[in-house]
């Protein structure tokens, strides 16, 4: 029996669902074998012992909750209520969506999905009901980005004025996206971000995926060490290590190995990538994730994923992790 | 938007960080009183706070023009207890002002006591509030 490689000119490996049925659950189409995408293996099941891992997609088996969010209705019904947001398992790689189940909500919340929770309206053909009787579409902020590593290093922001966003409150619009995937945005809120202390030591490795929507710096973490997706995308841990890859207004992957004079950095966008090595310094204890400085011009970071390992990943692993991330986020 | 830095002085029983945290929590409770908060709520404060890299003093980073929503269920008891140096007449005026705006909103700048130090961005920078941030 011949295999089917495409349906309607779309490669089978890129098809999530056919008539609402998961591709993984379809064996044949019209009697012809349907060669489906490989089963989902979360990245941290392969590249184990992460120190901390934050993402809009599921990174590890058994992890079901991506983040905790707070909605704002400008003083109306449901203002400042909170809920946990699960990964949407209708996707082959579970990822948050407006269909994500919510749980552990504030008293009085009856919504069961994120789309209902924020009264988003109609998005991509799906109309979400409004069980909580909100009078507006709520803005939605992240007050806790769950750590999927198993080490409970959850990125928490308890001040409402500093919480990054996942929905801007515009009716009939999807979650904030970067690279076509939901993302956590520090664009609109000065000093937004998450205070954090991971207790890493050198060497350590990290990967990030996101987009800098502006013309200035975009710090995934800092003060030092820090990773900046900017004009000369760089890292700093007492000394600077830069690439010539300009990541302003670019979707990207960055990874770094912080190991004093043997540090490495790679910056990747659709049309360019560069790997450099050298001295990045010896600092280890950065104290925030995704902080937007009010005195920085155009800091517009929209982040999909950050993963940290408290070790130096091998060249093989660096390549494998990069491939896994790019397979999902399609940066290049 | 008008950013203001409010360095917090210690009071008896509370150092600067503890008092700043408590004031920040009470500012949040103007909008979401404890009676409305759920035990699992993560959000507990209104504004970010920064720590002076040399002195360790903590400042609340507010916005004088931001409208702070006042819950109809607001309770000012704990907030007032955090302001021992504020003249009683001024505290009485604050209570009347909040009561008059239950269910509405007030500019944050009108909630700042006269006894509080207020710094602009430039003044805060000149006083060393911002740590070295390598580019």
Which residue, chain included where needed, has tokens 């044949």? Answer: A28
Of A312, A301, A157, residue with least CA distance to A227 = A301
Residue identified by tokens 């929209």 is A302
Which residue in A274, A270, A204 sits closest to A237, CA to CA? A204
For chain B, say whether A82 makes contact (Cβ under 8 Å): yes
Beta bridge partners of A69: A83, A142
Q: Which residues of A touch B121 (CB under 8 A)?
A: 294-295
> How far is Cα A191 from Cα B49, in angstroms, rounded to an integer?
9
Position A292 confidence tier, pLDDT thresholds 50, 70, 90: low
For B69, the closest chain A residue by CA position comes to A75
Contact partners, residue B35, CB within 8 Å, separation at least 6: B73, B75
Which of B:43-82 have CB within 8 Å of A?
43-49, 61, 63, 69
Mean pLDDT confidence for B16-44: 97
Is some CB atom of chain B closer than 8 A to the CB atom of A161?
yes
| CA distance to A273, B33, B75, B90, per residue, from B111 (Å) | 51, 17, 15, 11
Q: Is A40 on the interface with B (CB under 8 A)?
A: no
Q: Report whether pLDDT(B48) > 60.
A: yes
Mean pLDDT, residues A220-237 taken together: 93
* Residue A283 forms contact with B (CB below 8 Å): no
- Nearest by CB: B61 against A68, A75, A191: A191
Average pLDDT, chain A: 90
Contacts with B28 from chain A: Cβ below 8 Å: 160
CA torsion through residues A245, A201, A158, B106, sign: negative
3-state secondary structure of B97: helix
**pLDDT tens digits along A22-50:** 555 555 556 665 555 567 899 999 999 99
Q: What's the whole-number mean pLDDT along residues B52-58?
A: 95
Mention every residue, 6+ apart, whose C-beta is less than 8 A from residue A19.
Answer: none
pLDDT at A197 over 70: yes
- Which candidate from B31, B43, B61 shows the least CB-CB separation from A158? B43
Nearest to A191 by CA among B23, B34, B45, B69: B45
pLDDT in tens, A75-126: 999 999 999 999 999 999 999 999 999 999 999 999 999 999 999 999 999 9
Chosen from A160, A192, A230, A292 to mutate, greatest number of chain B CBs within 10 A: A160
Category of A294 on φ-ψ map: left (φ > 0), alpha (ψ -120 to 50) or beta: alpha
Task: Please determine, for residue B131, whether its predicted confidence score (pLDDT) is greater than 80.
Answer: no
Q: Kindly list the residues from chain A whose CB atom is less than 8 angstroms away from the CB atom of residue B38.
A: 82, 106-107
Least confident of A25-39, A253-267, B23-37, B117-131: A25-39
CB-CB contact of A116 with A130 (8 Å): yes
Is residue A298 very low, low, confident or very high in pLDDT (cuts 50, 70, 90)?
very low
pLDDT surpassing 50 at residue A1: no
Are B49 and A159 inside 8 Å of each other by CB? yes
Of the partner residues A80, A158, A163, the one whose CB lies closest to the CB of residue B32: A80
Give A233-278 as a DSSP string.
-EEESSSEEE-S---BT-EEEEEEEE-GGGEEEEEEETTEEEEEEE
H helices of A145-192, in order, are: none
- Distance, CA of B98 to CA of A219 (rounded, Å): 39
Question: pLDDT category, A64, cuts 50, 70, 90?
Answer: very high
Say yes or no for a CB contact (<8 Å) between A80 and B44: no
How many angstroms separate the CA atoms of A160 and A171, rounded? 22
Residue-wise pLDDT for A160-182, tens only, equals 989 999 999 999 999 999 989 99
C-alpha distance from B132 to closest chain A C-alpha (Å): 8
Q: How confident is the model at residue A300 (pLDDT cuts 50, 70, 90)?
A: confident
Q: How much of chain A exceeds pLDDT 70, in percent? A: 85
Output the pTM of the full model: 0.90
Inter-chain residue contact B43 with A217, CB threshold 8 Å: no
Cβ neighbours of A70 in B, within 8 Å: 42-43
**Structure tokens that stand for A96 in this block:** 């948050």
Tokens of B82: 């955090």
Residues 6+ away with beta carbon under 8 Å from A328: A57, A93, A181
Looking at the partner chain, which of B42, B69, B133 has a beta carbon nearest the beta carbon of A75? Answer: B69
Pairwise CB contact (< 8 Å): B38 & A156: no
Residue A12 is encoded by which pair of tokens? 């089978």
Contact (CB<8Å) B48/A222: no
CA A315 vs. chain centroid, Å, equals 24
Confidence of residue B119 (pLDDT cuts 50, 70, 90): very high
- The SS3 call for residue A114 is helix
Q: Out of A8-22, A30-44, A310-324, give the one with best mean pLDDT.
A: A310-324
Whole-angstrom Cα distance, residue A294 to residue A95? 31
Q: Beta strand pairing status for A82-86 and A65-72?
A: antiparallel
* Average pLDDT score, chain B: 94
Any B CB within 8 A of A223 CB: yes
Phi/psi of residue B54, nearest 5 degrees = -105, -50
With an 8 Å Cβ cutoff, are A160 and B28 in contact? yes
CA distance B102 to A317: 58
**Spatial distance between the Cα atoms of B19 and B64, rounded to a whole number of angstroms:** 20
Selected residues 84-113 of chain B with any CB under 8 Å from a CB in chain A: 105
Cβ(A170)–Cβ(A274) under 8 Å? no
Position A26 scores a pLDDT of 58
Computed on alpha carbons and rounded to an integer, the radius of gyration of chain B in Å comes to 15
* CA–CA separation, A164 and B111 (whole Å): 26
DSSP 8-state assignment for residue A327: H
Whether residue B65 is predicted with pLDDT greater than 80 in this model: the reply is yes
Interface size between A and B, measured as CB pairs under 8 A: 69
ipTM of the complex: 0.91
The dihedral region occupied by A253, where left means phi > 0, alpha psi between -120 and 50, and beta the remainder, is: beta
Per this entry, what is the length of chain A?
332
Q: Is B122 on the interface with A (CB under 8 A)?
A: no
């Amino acid at each position: 029996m011949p295999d089917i490689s495409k349906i309607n000119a779309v490669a089978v490996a890129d098809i999530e669902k056919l008539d609402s049925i998961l591709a993984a659950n379809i064996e044949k189409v019209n009697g012809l074998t349907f060669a489906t995408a490989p089963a989902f293996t979360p990245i941290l099941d392969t590249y184990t012992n992460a120190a901390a891992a934050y993402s809009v997609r599921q990174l590890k088996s058994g992890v079901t909750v991506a983040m905790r969010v707070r909605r704002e209705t400008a003083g109306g019904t449901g203002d400042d209520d909170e809920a946990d947001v699960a990964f949407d398992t209708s996707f082959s790689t579970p990822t948050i969506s407006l269909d994500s189940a919510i749980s552990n909500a504030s008293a009085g919340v009856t919504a069961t999905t994120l789309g209902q929770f924020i009264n988003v309206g109609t998005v991509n053909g799906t109309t979400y009901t409004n069980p909580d009787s909100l009078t507006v579409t709520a803005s939605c902020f992240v007050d806790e980005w769950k750590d999927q590593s198993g080490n409970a290093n959850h990125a928490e922001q308890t001040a409402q004025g500093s919480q990054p966003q996942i929905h801007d409150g515009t009716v009939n619009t999807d979650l904030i996206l970067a690279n076509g995937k939901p993302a956590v945005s520090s664009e609109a809120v000065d000093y937004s971000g998450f205070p954090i202390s991971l207790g890493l030591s050198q060497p350590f490795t990290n990967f990030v995926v996101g987009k800098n929507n502006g013309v200035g710096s975009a710090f995934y973490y800092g003060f030092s060490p820090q990773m900046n997706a900017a004009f000369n995308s760089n890292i700093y841990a007492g000394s600077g290590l830069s690439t010539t890859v300009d990541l302003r207004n670019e979707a990207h992957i960055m990874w770094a190995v912080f190991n004093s004079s043997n540090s490495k950095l790679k910056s990747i966008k659709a049309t360019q990538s560069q790997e450099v090595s050298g001295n990045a310094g010896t600092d280890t204890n950065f104290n925030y994730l995704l902080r937007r400085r009010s005195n920085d011009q155009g800091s517009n970071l929209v982040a999909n994923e950050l993963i940290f390992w408290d070790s130096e990943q091998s060249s093989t692993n660096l390549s494998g992790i990069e491939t896994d991330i790019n397979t999902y986020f399609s940066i290049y | 938007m008008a950013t203001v830095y409010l360095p917090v002085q210690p009071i008896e029983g509370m150092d600067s960080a503890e008092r700043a945290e408590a004031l920040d929590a009470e500012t949040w409770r103007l909008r979401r009183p404890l009676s409305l908060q759920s035990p699992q709520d993560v959000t507990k404060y209104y504004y970010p706070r920064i720590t002076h890299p040399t002195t360790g003093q903590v400042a609340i980073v507010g916005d004088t023009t931001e409208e702070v929503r006042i819950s109809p269920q607001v309770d000012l008891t704990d907030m007032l207890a955090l302001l021992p140096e504020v003249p009683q007449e001024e505290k009485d005026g604050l209570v009347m002002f909040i009561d008059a705006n239950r269910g509405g909103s007030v500019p944050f700048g009108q909630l700042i006591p006269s006894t509080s130090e207020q710094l602009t961005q430039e003044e805060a920078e000149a006083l060393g509030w911002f740590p070295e941030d390598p580019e």
